[in-house]
Amino acid sequence: MSETNDIHRGLQGVFFDRSDVTFIDGKKGVLLYRGYSIDDLAEKSTFEEICYLLIEGKLPNQNELDAYKSLLAEKRSIPDELVELIKEMKSLHPMDVLQTSISYLGSIENDNLTSVSNIKKLSADIIAKTPTIVACHKRFRENQEYIHPKKELTHAENFLYMMSGTKPSPDEAQLIDKDFILHAEHSSNASSFTARVVAGTGASLYASITAAIAALSGPAHGGAAENVMTMALEIEKPENAKNYVKEKRKDKEPIMGFGHRVYRTEDPRAKHLKQGVKDLSEKFNESQWLQILEAVEIEMEPYKRLGVAANVDFYAGVIYYLLDIPHEFFVPIFAIGRIPGWIISVIEQYTNNILIRPLLDYNGPEQIKYIPIDQR
């Protein structure tokens, strides 16, 4: 009814709070976690360090890191009842199974305290168990036995081991570890905002993370890596890329893995996975997928000036594919990496909590007189 209110659809450009966790400069392609460049963290750190950094606010020393890694390793196992529940859900989509499983863990935790100290205590449980849930479902989905986690392996090593039954090579584990780091946090994206909205109501950490997983399951947020691999399979050969891109752009259809809501230049995370694709392609003698992606990049070069460049998921999907991970598990891998980012979003929200309640500008009819049903 009002014509004077400014509308910011999608809340684009709206600052709803302050945060000291993640800095993004979309024009320059800069991403910082707690002040540290993603370039340094991706090449020099580990996912366990990043979890500690995001949640505790500082990089750990060696003793702190050793203690934290031991804590995560101790908490990897999931209850037998949850294993059976996952087995019952083996035919469902992995994101639905992950949602249900995290919600189940919250129900048996029976601890809805929302103090920061309590959230930090519970955070290790969710970080540690999420890879186990995903891997357990993958095994049952393929009619294989559940593989119990190994405490002596790193977070990334253990995940790949539980998925395949074989201990990964150091370079494979390092690449997945890097993938987790690059996906760990990204300010107020759709799923992190969802976690904050739910936490704003005073709901539990598990409820907030369950809601965040639901938000990530949408194709506009978490589905890019899967869509890129689908695109590469559709293109089949590098020489087909030119016509593929031409036809898509003619029909005003997006090219998967290009463009980002925040970045107006290349996503600073993308280059760190590109080298991984090169290394795996050589290792498995499957260079065609890298060649296809490079051919697509060449065809998309003119669009860089419009702010449409490769994002982090452009290369992620091929990495998962070369590691023999089914397409439907690409988004759950994203979720494994993003768990610490969701947790710190919840912690920040609880620290100075307020109900997040934006307004809608009503543009429907004026008040209408009610007509009894027998007169309609």
Catalytic residue ranges: 260, 313
What Cα–Cα distance (Å) separates residue 83 from each residue in 93, 100, 104?
16, 12, 11
The CB density around residue 64, as the number of other CB atoms within 10 Å, is 14
Euclidean distance between CA atoms 35 and 259, whole angstroms: 25
Euclidean distance between CA atoms 304 and 286, whole angstroms: 28
Residue with the two structure tokens 């639901």: 214
15-18, Cβ contacts within 8 angstroms, sequence gap of 24 or more: 16/188, 16/356, 16/358, 17/196, 17/348
- DSSP sequence for 316-354: HHHHHHHTT--GGGHHHHHHHHHHHHHHHHHHHHHHT--
Would you state the structure tokens that stand for residue 350, as one six-digit string? 């609880």
CA angle 290, 293, 296 (to 5 degrees): 150
Would you state the structure tokens that stand for residue 160, as one six-digit string? 């790949």
Q: H/E element holding 318?
A: helix 313-322
DSSP 258: B
Euclidean distance between CA atoms 116 and 262, whole angstroms: 29
Would you state the structure tokens that stand for residue 349, as one six-digit string? 């929200």
